[in-house]
Structure 1
Amino acid sequence: MKDYSNILIIKMSSLGDVIHALPTLYALRQNLPHAKITWAIHEQFASLLPGTPWVDEVIIIDKKQLKSPSYLWNLRKDLHSRHFDMTLDLQCIAKSAIVSLLSGAPERYGYWELREGSKFVNKALVGAHKYDHVIERYLDTVRVLGGDVEGVEFPMPHDHAAEGVIRKRLADLGVTDDYVVVVPGARWIVKEWPLLNFGELCIRLCESGKKVIIAGAPDDNEKGLFIENYVKNDNLINLVGKTTMAELIELIRHCHIYISADTGPLHIANALKKPLIALFGTTSPHRTGPYGGSHVHIIISPTSKATPEQPLVDDPDCMAQIPVDAVWDVYSEMLRKDL
């Protein structure tokens, strides 16, 4: 691999997509231990990035300002002043291509799926995993550039202050590390498992004596309140919308088992190698699901039509075809193996 000294990675959103790019960061650092690596990202996802030795510097990109000439001019001056010798665009859409172009780097690359005109800015790096999981597609950029890739590793951040906040909050609630995290929301409604199903599952978990913590973004507050009112059990704790991103990571880090449909926090759990149950139907786990390891347990709707070639299917009835019994059976088997 060429001895690059100053690299800009561009992956600005979203939660799961940023985590999918972390193994590529790991591989780059393994091949270029002395390079300076900077990451361009939207502010709300910046806490997903690890610090040194993985990422030396973070550049916050204001997505609302990317159509402002004055903002673009100042961004260009800032990026040019850093003298990048290579950009690696792992988003490959118009807004990321703009950042890549403004970087002034003499070499600008992206993974093979160059969309929204990004092919006019970046050179596609096409590898053997072109149609495989998106993590492997990203890792192909390192392989094609001549780097070695040894497995899939996620260099996740570890915020000790956030960990302290979560540990104190849980201790105040009488919760040990033997708890289940359930995240009921998802970015698109067609990816969600019905709230009634989540409620019935949480009732079973709580009545078994397990502490259950429901979590998620502030946009999912109503879902959290619905489940809280439906379950009505002291073993259920509603933290939906009540954690920062860093605190959510630490909440998941210390859980016993994680359960959700295809949503961003699922990929946090996978990166942390937590035992997890992932519910899929309208999206393809073979393209963007939790990747690798015996900790992963995927339940796919019997009516799923999602494939790696058609990764998102607009089928509002699909996820409801996963019965509560199926999830409970997988959970029970996980407990038996854990004993």
Structure 2
Amino acid sequence: MSDQQAPLKVLIVKLSSLGDVVHTMPAVMDIQAAFPHAQIDWVVERSFAPLAARCAAVHRVIPCDLRRWRKGFFKAETRGQTRTEWQSFKTDLQQEAYDVILDLQGLTKSALVAWLARKVKGGKRYALANRTEGSGYERSTRWVADEAVPISPHIHAVDRSRVLCAKALGYEVPAHMNYGLGEAAKQRKLSVALVHGTSRADKEWPLANWFEIGTRLKQQGFDVALPHGNEAERMRSLALADVLPNAVVWPRLSLDQLAAEMAQCTGVIGVDSGLSHIAVALDLPHVQIYNFDTAWRTGPEGMTRQCSVVDCPTPSVDAVWDAWLSCLHAKGTSA
């Protein structure tokens, strides 16, 4: 597809989750690089909307609350309000007619949104043609699409969206990867954020290991920052702060505020979680800890000062520390 006099209007449908939203940003930036005057809008769950809006290529974010609405439709006390909010969302979604609608999620809920979105005459809806390893996929996405794009089953989460967009719009995937969040702050605080929270217990790293890493960081002159996303993570942060002198427990922050705070840090050490993926997007020195080998699919890719450490049942403190020192002193941003 060649560039046009009128701006190419593109709709991205990637609703959740946090890590998936971050992993979509390079694809959005690729489209802007191929079509500099494109108008790129993004439908995303409301809780992730402030972060999606920080992506430099995004023109408009269209927030939705599909998770909440699905429950609200079945409760008499919330059904009326849910219908009102649903109608408001559809009106917002259908303000524009798009040349290209890209369902990058491959689920029934994203297919529904793509189907509701308006196309210009001759416009197309694109979606995944097949499941890829470790990712959810529902065939309804193919029924809605005008064209289903086949993707290699063994592919990194970032590359999955980048390849689909490139095939749909007819350009080569750029060699350089850009998340569109900008570089980390030039004048950074001498602090390292420890991202200990994750949505799954089997991804956690032992509290004693976090204490040991925090102690070593303090001995090297770094302060320790402790973000959290829920009450259980806040209590863990407080427990670590009790034994790590001068550790700072961040207040509960929105995702865009968390991204802004993390950008001020020297670097991040974290488990496989959305916040760790934000650290990657911010181009910070970063070590991502994995208790099983899914790092090939979601871990830092092609970066010189970011890496994954993988071991079962869990990586050792020494392995994580050695990786941190290597990332901290690496030069440049990409391989």
Tell me whether the two structures share a fold, i.e. TM-score over 0.5. yes
Partner residue, 1:307: none
> Structure 2, unaligned stretches of length 5 or more?
74-81, 132-136
Quick one: structure 1 residues 215 and 116, their matched pair in 2 at CA, closer, same or farther if it must change by over 3 Å? Answer: farther
Quick one: structure 1 residues 132 and 53, their matched pair in 2 at CA, closer, same or farther if it must change by over 3 Å? Answer: closer
Partner residue, 2:69: 65
Once residues 284 and 161 of structure 2 are traced to their aligned partners in structure 1, the CA distance between those partners, rounded to angstroms, is 23
> 1:225 and 2:238 equivalent?
yes
Once residues 323 and 78 of structure 1 are traced to their aligned partners in structure 2, the CA distance between those partners, rounded to angstroms, is 49
Partner residue, 2:143: 120
- For 1:83, which of 78, 81, 97 is the aligned residue? 97
Taking the TM superposition and a 5 Å limit, the aligned residue runs for 1:82-101 are 82-101=96-115
Partner residue, 1:108: 125
Once residues 200 and 51 of structure 1 are traced to their aligned partners in structure 2, the CA distance between those partners, rounded to angstroms, is 34
Preserved CA contact (<8 Å) 1:8 1:87: yes
> Structure 1, unaligned stretches of length 5 or more?
168-175, 304-317
> 1:298 and 2:308 equivalent?
yes
Quick one: structure 1 residues 18 and 333, their matched pair in 2 at CA, closer, same or farther if it must change by over 3 Å? Answer: closer
RMSD over aligned CA atoms reads 2.6
Structure 1 residue 77: Cα displacement: 4.1
Preserved CA contact (<8 Å) 1:191 1:283: no
Paired letter, 1:150? P
Partner residue, 1:154: 179
Paired letter, 1:325? D
Preserved CA contact (<8 Å) 1:11 1:39: yes
Cα deviation code 1:22-79 (max 9, x no counterpart): 1110111122222321111111111212468611111111122255666545544443
Partner residue, 1:186: 198
Paired letter, 1:223? R
Structure 1 residue 328: Cα displacement: 2.2
Query: Which stretch shows the higher mean deviation, 49-58 or 203-212?
Result: 49-58
Match of 1:84, SS state, is strand
Paired letter, 1:56? H
Which structure has greater strand proportion? Answer: 2
Taking structure 2 as the reference length, the TM-score comes to: 0.81
Once residues 25 and 329 of structure 2 are traced to their aligned partners in structure 1, the CA distance between those partners, rounded to angstroms, is 32
- For 2:248, which of 237, 247, 253 is the aligned residue? 237
Preserved CA contact (<8 Å) 1:38 1:57: yes
Quick one: structure 1 residues 255 and 71, their matched pair in 2 at CA, closer, same or farther if it must change by over 3 Å? Answer: closer
Once residues 52 and 140 of structure 1 are traced to their aligned partners in structure 2, the CA distance between those partners, rounded to angstroms, is 19
Partner residue, 1:314: none
Partner residue, 2:265: 255
Preserved CA contact (<8 Å) 2:183 2:283: no
Preserved CA contact (<8 Å) 2:271 2:290: yes
Cα deviation code 1:171-228 (max 9, x no counterpart): xxxxx62211111111111111112211222122223432111112134112111212
Partner residue, 1:173: none
Partner residue, 1:213: 225
Quick one: structure 1 residues 330 and 135, their matched pair in 2 at CA, closer, same or farther if it must change by over 3 Å? Answer: closer
Once residues 325 and 87 of structure 2 are traced to their aligned partners in structure 1, the CA distance between those partners, rounded to angstroms, is 57
Identical-pair percentage? 28
Partner residue, 1:280: 290
Once residues 275 and 158 of structure 1 are traced to their aligned partners in structure 2, the CA distance between those partners, rounded to angstroms, is 12
